[in-house]
Amino acid sequence: MKNHRDYNRAIATIRAWWLSNVVVLTQALHYGRAARRDERNAFPYTAAMEWRNAAELFASNTLAAEYCWKQWERIMNLPRQLAGPASISRIVAFPRNPALATRVAVQPAINPISLARAA
């Protein structure tokens, strides 16, 4: 007698993965629609946050994410690099070199005040 437990587990895993992708895509489309509505109702900064949320939900290298980021940049008049929080440092690990794999370098976040003074 064959064991169908592994087959059922594989089918359940595929269905869960597919459902999670559909839910994420639906949520991203909802954010985009809400952004358009907010912009139409004269809430530009709320619309910008909605565009940012939609862009983060789409895969990072898709045309949809690029479109959402372009809308955010248009509303905020800022480059995309300033979309993240300014107070959190970026952590960069070096996974390719085994000697440096345990060491972590901390880079300071972009300071918008010093960036504005430099311009």
C-alpha span between 29 and 13 (Å, rounded): 24
pLDDT, position 99 = 54
Q: Where are the domains of the chain?
A: 1-82, 85-119
End-to-end CA gap in the chain: 74
Report CA Rg, the chain.
Answer: 21
pLDDT for residue 117 is more than 80: no
* Burial group, residue 60, by CB count within 10 angstroms (0-12, 13-18, 19+): exposed
pLDDT, position 22 = 83
- Average confidence (pLDDT) over 45-68: 90
**Band of pLDDT at residue 14, cut at 50, 70 and 90:** confident
17, 24, 76, 93 from 110: Cα distances, Å: 36, 29, 17, 18
- Average confidence (pLDDT) over 31-47: 95
**Band of pLDDT at residue 81, cut at 50, 70 and 90:** confident
Q: Is the pTM of this model over 0.75?
A: no
| Average pLDDT, rounded, for the chain | 77
Residues sharing a CB contact under 8 Å with residue 108, sequence separation 6 or more, in sequence order: 89
- Average confidence (pLDDT) over 7-34: 84
91, 93, 110 from 106: Cα distances, Å: 5, 9, 12
- Architecture per CATH, 1-82: Up-down Bundle (1.20)
CB 89 within 8 A of CB 100: no
Q: What is the percent of the chain where pLDDT is above 90?
A: 34
- Average confidence (pLDDT) over 99-112: 54
CB 50 within 8 A of CB 28: no
